[in-house]
């Protein structure tokens, strides 16, 4: 099953993320190496959110990522939510 984690970010996210970026990317790489994180990145023009696509047995994988993400823990993410995503076309 696929899940998308959506982040709503603070206005000064770009300026504030540098202090937490390496730790954030380290966690993301761990999930990627386990085959759970498929795609991830911030929205552009404007940078007003981000989305992370997970492939996992249940929603808790994406929820655990969010809860442990330094961007969330340090207030760069105002709100987050996970949605189950039914993939119809695409490589498996």
- Write down how long the chain is: 92
Classify residue 27 by burial, with Cβ atoms within 10 Å: 0-12, 13-18, 19+: middle
| Fold of the CATH domain 2-85 | Alpha-Beta Plaits (3.30.70)
- pLDDT score at 90: 86
pTM higher than 0.85, yes or no?
Answer: yes
Task: Tell me if residue 11 falls in helix, strand or coil.
Answer: coil
Q: How far apart are the first and last CA of the chain?
A: 10
Structure confidence by residue, pLDDT tens digits, 3-55? 999 999 999 999 999 999 999 999 999 999 999 999 999 999 999 999 999 99
Q: How confident is the model at residue 92, as a pLDDT?
A: 64
Distance CA 64, CA 12 (A): 25
């Amino acid at each position: 099953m696929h899940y998308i984690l959506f982040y709503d970010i603070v206005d000064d996210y770009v300026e504030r993320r540098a202090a937490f970026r390496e730790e954030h990317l380290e966690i993301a790489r761990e999930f990627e190496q386990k085959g759970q994180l498929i795609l991830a990145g911030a929205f552009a023009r404007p940078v007003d959110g981000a989305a992370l696509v997970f492939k996992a047995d249940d929603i808790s994988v994406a929820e655990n990522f969010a809860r442990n993400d330094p961007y969330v823990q340090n207030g760069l993410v105002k709100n987050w939510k996970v949605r189950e995503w039914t993939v119809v076309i695409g490589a498996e």
